[in-house]
Chain A
Amino acid sequence: MADGIKDKVAIIGMGCTKFGEHWDKSAEDLMVEAFQEALTDAGIEKKQIQAAWQGNQFTEVNIGQSALPLASTLKLPFIPVTRVENLCASGTESLRGACYAVASGACDIALAMGIEKVKDLGFGGLPRANEDIMVMGTKGRLIYPNWVNPNPGMFGMMALKYFERYGYSIEEGKRALAKISVKSHHNGSMNPKAHLRREITVEDVIKAPIISWPLGLYDCCGVSDGAAAAIVVRADMAKNYSPDPIYIKSMQVAADSGEGLLYTDYDYTHIEAINRCAIKAYREAGIENPREELSMMEVHDCFSITELVIYEDLMISPRGKAIDDINAGFFELDGKLPCQPDGGLKCFGHPIGASGIRMVYEIYKQLQGKADKRQIKNPRLGLTQNYGGQPPFGVCSICILGH
């Protein structure tokens, strides 16, 4: 078996813009801001970067096609620059590209940039799904139920099945989900870079308008503009640049192959790709008991129900028991395994291609002890996780980081 990527690559510099509705900033502005922060943090010169990756989902909003936007904005001269896109995993995919390049020996220093400028659409939400992102290509326009973003509905259907299977009424289930959002708003309120910085109550969540039944407004993450960047080097060179480099322990991706959507075995109360991805990631990182060994997590809470099933798919909570952990405060900032210390997609915001690197940014800062009011005590290992697509049919990425 291949020996994996553990401890072969280190992050020496990171940058992340404030996420939000940046009406006055372009994708270029955001990329430069994230990049300059990362470059300063790494203490290197731009010309030392030997390869770069750009992760973004929507080419049609401001950014455009190819990786030339990154190359031309940052003026990266004549190096390989590559655009990667894997839905909401796009940011992590760009980091994976950079890490694999360094680990392979193809280069010593590489840049990963995640960027999205969705608010230039001029309307709420994401670009119409049937245009580009349907899992069956443009055939999806002709057979999928609607011609906009089906994500809230697909996750809503998962919530219904989860409540049914584990014997929760809609009211009980919604109350448990509400606590997930309340927790993330609490954490986000302490984060100056977060998009949404207001504390909310369980009652606020329960009473909010329905978006896609049974999910309401506060069960859904924000849609934001933003960029995040990471500079990675060969692990053996890391200390030459940084006093506190953070090491990649694992990077894994798992894509569903369609069974969940088309085959009746799928129970719709979990996401198989996340579970499979986690098994591979823990093996690569040498983690045997994630519930005990992980210090913190930044997971893909595009919807509250997603975060709930992720707890189980990552094997933190036993199947059907995540609500017990939620009620026990297990994932609170002062709990046993803090989740979404930066506010998560829910409050930090979700510029699709930037989100994966934003999660790594928080873990990186936490591991360096630079997370300010949100600082977790003595963190050792942190996990980030993205899921792009819809419950029966999507792609999961996981990154585990540590000292």
Chain B
Amino acid sequence: MGRIGIVSYGAYLPRYRLNRAVIFKALEWLNPGGMTGEKAVSNFDEDSLTMAVAACINATDEIDRKKIEGVYFASTTAPYCERESAAIISEALDLNPNVRTGDFTGALKSGTVALLAALDYAKGGGGNMLVCAADCRLGKPGSSVELLFGDGAGAVMTGDENPIAVFEGAYSSAADFPDFRRSEGDKFVRASEERFIRDEGFAKIIPEVVHGLLKKLDLTPKDINKIGYACVYARDHATLGKKMGFEPGQIQAPLLAVAGELGAATPLVTLSAMLDEAKPGDKLLLASFGNGADALVFTVTEEINKLKNRTKLSKCLAAKKELTSYEKYLVFRGILPIEIGVGQDIAPTQLPLAWRERKTIMALYGTKCKKCGTPQYPPQRICVNPKCGAVNEMEPYHFADRKGKVFSFTEDYTAASISPPLIYSMVDFEGGGRFIFELTDCESGSVKTGMSVCMSFRRKYHDIERGIHGYFWKAVPVKE
């Protein structure tokens, strides 16, 4: 067994940013606030699961996903209580069917718990494990956590094949510390008093695991090039680092002002930020917080210079669009019910059909004709090329990773949409194949024919009455 650690990494932040001033403007009569900066908010068709898929795609952009042996997903906001998110993610990523999957939930530290489980898997002789963490927690309108929480996802792949950061060791603690909670049926997270969360919570628990780990590895704060930790509140971040013995230059800037407190995703997104900047030889210390804490140390290797893409989180931070309407935010998050059109309720999902067609729907598989080479979506038995028409000569063909071009499009004001107009397009894929896809993460007036698009795994519908989250792929305009 070689050295184990992180083989690749990725991040995803939803495109929309809600400036906290927008929330103040709407709710100043209720909560005079005090928090500045902006938070990342997911589009109406995103949730923790879709953001995790996006982060995983970002983390495996230079990797053959068929070499992945499992997926661990950490979140406190998984779409289903019973029905595994990691299994859905592995379908969307088109992993081998014999992978190991697991959901880690409950605690905000579940991101590092999943990461440690994946490192243990490698330690036990296993191979590449994809670890992703995502959250989109809701604070009650008018609450301070509403201002605090942001949406996002991080992912790393662990293994022993040329790691970019070698795992040196970890130190954990468990505590039933009552900072945040959400019970069955709760839509919003309840928070304890901020001073209590600080003084009895992260200000004690994070130093305990950080110092515990340094001692265990026989290191001092000076040996650490960068430390990233999840300490909930921006104003306490620098103080805590100083208290633990770190200089300001050693402390990874928190994401609170640019993305918000990302829940279970905070450690992995923070790690992405650290790895975007890391140099070979750097020692990175990462600490989570939530019902205890985990601290981990990694040593960055020369392998990191071989990665072609080192702007994983920085690109997410740069690719943003202001959401200027607080009401729209409430609608996107399902807080404010709206009329999307009478009679436009969601048709039942025929689950045996969805199961049979899962490669088509979840992994965006079509077919390619072995006789004439024409890719076609959805899968056909008889070739759609009028000059071919070969029968049963198809092989599976994966469209999800392929770019396409907008052949034609429309902005439909009659279609049911939470964010009208519904924009959809006839997409022509590079290498062949054509189908109609909804466009997302774009505004009315911004789409042109010939524009490049890539495919993004999104929530197609949420059938609240029947408890079904329907997922499918949409097209997102990409800058050339």
The answer to whether A160 touches B410 (Cβ under 8 A) is yes
The answer to whether A157 touches B415 (Cβ under 8 A) is no
The answer to whether A145 touches B422 (Cβ under 8 A) is yes
From the candidates A144, A152, A263, A268, name the one contacting B376 in the complex (CB within 8 A). A263
Rounded to whole angstroms, the CA-CA distance of A144 and B344 in the bound complex is 15
Rounded to whole angstroms, the CA-CA distance of A219 and B345 in the bound complex is 26
Residues of A within 8 A of B357 (CB): 139, 142
The answer to whether A213 touches B376 (Cβ under 8 A) is no
The answer to whether B384 touches A258 (Cβ under 8 A) is yes
From the candidates B407, B414, B438, B472, name the one contacting A125 in the complex (CB within 8 A). B414
Within 227-284 of A, Cβ neighbours of B (below 8 Å) are at 257-259, 261-266, 268
Instruction: Say whether B246 faces chain A, with CB atoms less than 8 Å apart.
Output: no
From the candidates B411, B434, B437, B461, name the one contacting A213 in the complex (CB within 8 A). B411
Residues of A within 8 A of B426 (CB): 157, 268, 392
Interface centre among A121, A141, A144, A153, by most B CB within 10 Å?
A: A153
A126-134, A358-366, A376-384: which lies at the B interface?
A: A126-134
From the candidates A130, A147, A154, A268, name the one contacting B407 in the complex (CB within 8 A). A268
The answer to whether A262 touches B384 (Cβ under 8 A) is yes
Instruction: Say whether B350 faces chain A, with CB atoms less than 8 Å apart.
Output: yes
Rounded to whole angstroms, the CA-CA distance of A101 and B433 in the bound complex is 42
Rounded to whole angstroms, the CA-CA distance of A156 and B424 in the bound complex is 11
The 0/1 profile, CB within 8 Å of A marked 1, for residues 415-436 of chain B is 1110001101110100011111
Rounded to whole angstroms, the CA-CA distance of A125 and B415 in the bound complex is 10
The answer to whether A146 touches B386 (Cβ under 8 A) is no
Rounded to whole angstroms, the CA-CA distance of A154 and B422 in the bound complex is 12
Instruction: Say whether A77 faces chain B, with CB atoms less than 8 Å apart.
Output: no
The answer to whether B413 touches A209 (Cβ under 8 A) is yes
Instruction: Say whether A149 faces chain B, with CB atoms less than 8 Å apart.
Output: yes
The answer to whether B449 touches A146 (Cβ under 8 A) is no
The answer to whether B412 touches A160 (Cβ under 8 A) is no
Chain A residue nearest to B387 in the complex (CB): A265
Q: A144-B436, A148-B414, A209-B413 are in contact. Are A128 and B408 (CB under 8 A)?
A: no
Instruction: Say whether B456 faces chain A, with CB atoms less than 8 Å apart.
Output: no
Rounded to whole angstroms, the CA-CA distance of A116 and B410 in the bound complex is 28
Residues of B within 8 A of A213 (CB): 410-413, 421
Instruction: Say whether B248 faces chain A, with CB atoms less than 8 Å apart.
Output: no
Chain B residue nearest to A162 in the complex (CB): B408
The 0/1 profile, CB within 8 Å of B marked 1, for residues 106-130 of chain A is 0000000000000001110101101
The 0/1 profile, CB within 8 Å of A marked 1, for residues 194-235 of chain B is 000000000000000000000000000000000000000000
CB distance from B97 to the nearest CB of A (A): 20
The interface size of chain B toward A, counting residues with CB under 8 Å, comes to: 51
The interface size of chain A toward B, counting residues with CB under 8 Å, comes to: 47
Instruction: Say whether A79 faces chain B, with CB atoms less than 8 Å apart.
Output: no
From the candidates A128, A152, A161, name the one contacting B412 in the complex (CB within 8 A). A152
From the candidates A131, A147, A212, name the one contacting B413 in the complex (CB within 8 A). A212
From the candidates A158, A209, A264, A268, name the one contacting B432 in the complex (CB within 8 A). A264
Chain B residue nearest to A126 in the complex (CB): B343
The answer to whether A261 touches B343 (Cβ under 8 A) is no
Q: A145-B438, A262-B376 are in contact. Are A211 and B414 (CB under 8 A)?
A: yes
The answer to whether B341 touches A148 (Cβ under 8 A) is yes
Residues of A within 8 A of B428 (CB): 264
Residues of B within 8 A of A158 (CB): 408
Residues of B within 8 A of A150 (CB): 412, 415, 424, 436
Rounded to whole angstroms, the CA-CA distance of A39 and B411 in the bound complex is 47
Instruction: Say whether A136 faces chain B, with CB atoms less than 8 Å apart.
Output: yes
Rounded to whole angstroms, the CA-CA distance of A125 and B426 in the bound complex is 23
Rounded to whole angstroms, the CA-CA distance of A125 and B353 in the bound complex is 28
Interface centre among B424, B432, B449, by most A CB within 10 Å?
A: B424
Residues of A within 8 A of B432 (CB): 264
From the candidates B361, B384, B414, name the one contacting A152 in the complex (CB within 8 A). B414
Q: A261-B436, A262-B433 are in contact. Are A142 and B380 (CB under 8 A)?
A: no
Rounded to whole angstroms, the CA-CA distance of A157 and B385 in the bound complex is 22
Rounded to whole angstroms, the CA-CA distance of A171 and B413 in the bound complex is 19
Instruction: Say whether A138 faces chain B, with CB atoms less than 8 Å apart.
Output: yes
The answer to whether A160 touches B360 (Cβ under 8 A) is no
Residues of B within 8 A of A259 (CB): 384-386
The 0/1 profile, CB within 8 Å of A marked 1, for residues 321-348 of chain B is 0000000000000000000011111110
From the candidates B347, B360, B380, name the one contacting A262 in the complex (CB within 8 A). B380
The 0/1 profile, CB within 8 Å of A marked 1, for residues 360-380 of chain B is 110000000000001011101
The answer to whether B343 touches A121 (Cβ under 8 A) is yes
From the candidates A131, A139, A214, name the one contacting B353 in the complex (CB within 8 A). A139
Residues of A within 8 A of B413 (CB): 209-213
CB distance from B305 to the nearest CB of A (A): 40
CB distance from B424 to the nearest CB of A (A): 4
Instruction: Say whether B470 faces chain A, with CB atoms less than 8 Å apart.
Output: yes
Interface centre among B380, B407, B425, by most A CB within 10 Å?
A: B407
Chain B residue nearest to A269 in the complex (CB): B408
Within 362-390 of A, Cβ neighbours of B (below 8 Å) are at none
Instruction: Say whether B349 faces chain A, with CB atoms less than 8 Å apart.
Output: yes
Q: A122-B343, A157-B408, A268-B426 are in contact. Are A262 and B438 (CB under 8 A)?
A: no
From the candidates B361, B408, B461, name the one contacting A147 in the complex (CB within 8 A). B461
Instruction: Say whether A164 faces chain B, with CB atoms less than 8 Å apart.
Output: yes
The answer to whether A153 touches B344 (Cβ under 8 A) is no
From the candidates B350, B378, B437, B470, name the one contacting A145 in the complex (CB within 8 A). B437
The answer to whether A141 touches B349 (Cβ under 8 A) is yes
Residues of A within 8 A of B361 (CB): 142-143
Interface centre among B350, B412, B428, B432, by most A CB within 10 Å?
A: B412
Instruction: Say whether B354 faces chain A, with CB atoms less than 8 Å apart.
Output: yes
Rounded to whole angstroms, the CA-CA distance of A258 and B380 in the bound complex is 10
Rounded to whole angstroms, the CA-CA distance of A142 and B341 in the bound complex is 20
Q: A138-B353, A209-B413 are in contact. Are A146 and B407 (CB under 8 A)?
A: no
The answer to whether A148 touches B415 (Cβ under 8 A) is yes
Residues of A within 8 A of B349 (CB): 141-142
Residues of B within 8 A of A164 (CB): 449
CB distance from A390 to the nearest CB of B (A): 9
Rounded to whole angstroms, the CA-CA distance of A191 and B436 in the bound complex is 39
CB distance from B445 to the nearest CB of A (A): 9
The answer to whether B346 touches A147 (Cβ under 8 A) is yes
Rounded to whole angstroms, the CA-CA distance of A5 and B35 in the bound complex is 79
Residues of B within 8 A of A154 (CB): 410, 436
From the candidates B350, B360, B410, name the one contacting A153 in the complex (CB within 8 A). B410
The answer to whether A263 touches B378 (Cβ under 8 A) is no
The 0/1 profile, CB within 8 Å of B marked 1, for residues 178-217 of chain A is 0000000000000000000000000000000111111000
Rounded to whole angstroms, the CA-CA distance of A98 and B152 in the bound complex is 62
The 6 closest A-B pairs by CB, nearest first: A145-B424, A156-B410, A157-B408, A145-B438, A123-B342, A146-B415
Show 25 A/B contacts (Cβ-Cβ < 8 Å), sorted by A. Answer: A128-B345, A138-B353, A139-B353, A142-B353, A142-B361, A145-B422, A145-B436, A145-B437, A146-B416, A146-B417, A147-B346, A147-B461, A148-B414, A153-B412, A156-B412, A160-B408, A160-B409, A160-B410, A212-B411, A213-B410, A213-B412, A213-B413, A259-B385, A266-B434, A268-B407
List 20 additional A-B contacts (Cβ < 8 Å) besides A147-B461, A148-B415, A212-B413: A125-B343, A125-B414, A141-B347, A141-B349, A142-B470, A142-B472, A143-B435, A144-B436, A145-B415, A145-B437, A153-B410, A154-B436, A156-B412, A157-B425, A160-B408, A161-B449, A210-B421, A212-B421, A213-B413, A264-B432
